[in-house]
Amino acid sequence: MPKFEKYEQKIRKYKEKLKKLVTRIGIFSSEEFELVDGELKKLILPCHLGILFYSDFDIDLFRKIKSYLYQVFDSYFFEIRNLGQISFSKKLLSKGVKKEYKETKGINDKLRIHPTNKFYQSLIDIRTKEKLGMIIALTDLPIYSSSDDNILFLFGETHLKHRCGVVSTLKLKEQFYDRQKDNLLFEERVIKEIIHEIGHLLIGFTHCEEKSCVMRFSKDIDEIDKKSYYLCENCKNKLNKIRKDFNF
């Protein structure tokens, strides 16, 4: 029945198209890391925000991050809580890992890169347990996007639906580029990236074109250094609109 076959082919094409679209907007997750979120409720603002560390970080860094977050997002958070440090179990650590060579040429360092969904599932569980509105993690592990296999070595990513985000410090360190350690510069970059990802969780997916705006997309470290910690007027207006919607 050639007519029927044609129809079937059409449906198959449409299914592929749909799958691609869903992957792009981040709802689809690979079989290995099907995100389970038992308590996904609508976000209510202001909310409680938790910051989790998947490796050793200076306690002072949390204090600095918190102070900048309050400067930028003031009344959006009742509380910004330090959730402390955790690490993945050995079994989970090796799950979904991709092995890639370090980006800089001439060096034969093979890096184990972790999918963002691995962090998201762990963050969803903690967000639910701790009754937080949103949660963000900092890790020194390299990360790749679970929704787009082509993006390796991410600075950070958020999952809007599940209200969580992760920032990887690997490429924020001067040492990654074979330059001398610079702690102040490193902290500046970490803070900007955390503000950027939280900005996504509040304002949404879109990036800003304004040069100094923290919501501008940064393709490399220089672009992070060029932008400020703060939101431009346009992004501030978007944030204010949310405040009005939530009536606070």
Footprint of Zn ion on this chain (CB under 5 A)? 208, 210, 213, 215, 232, 235
197 tagged catalytic: yes
Shortest approach of Zn ion to residue 244 CB, angstroms?
Answer: 18
Shortest approach of Zn ion to residue 248 CB, angstroms?
Answer: 22
- List the structure tokens of 74: 């003031």
CA-to-CA distance for 237 and 240, rounded, in angstroms? 5
CA-to-CA distance for 236 and 230, rounded, in angstroms? 9
Place of tokens 């990513």: 157
Q: What burial letters (b/e) apply to 17-27, b meaning 16+ CB within 10 Å?
A: eeeeeebeebe
CA-to-CA distance for 55 and 32, rounded, in angstroms? 23
Shortest approach of Zn ion to residue 194 CB, angstroms?
Answer: 12
Amino acid at 224: I
- List the structure tokens of 149: 């296999």
In terms of CB distance, is 190 or 208 closer to Zn ion? 208
Shortest approach of Zn ion to residue 230 CB, angstroms?
Answer: 9
Q: Which of 197, 210, 223, 233 is catalytic?
A: 197
CA angle 40, 45, 47 (to 5 degrees): 75
In terms of CB distance, is 97 or 239 closer to Zn ion? 239
Shortest approach of Zn ion to residue 191 CB, angstroms?
Answer: 15
In terms of CB distance, is 83 or 194 closer to Zn ion? 194
Question: Which residue(s) pair with 135 in the sheet?
Answer: 50, 164
CA-to-CA distance for 205 and 244, rounded, in angstroms? 20
In terms of CB distance, is 140 or 210 closer to Zn ion? 210
In terms of CB distance, is 84 or 204 closer to Zn ion? 204
Q: Which helix (H) or strand (E) holds 8?
A: helix 2-24
Question: Which residues are known catalytic residues?
Answer: 197
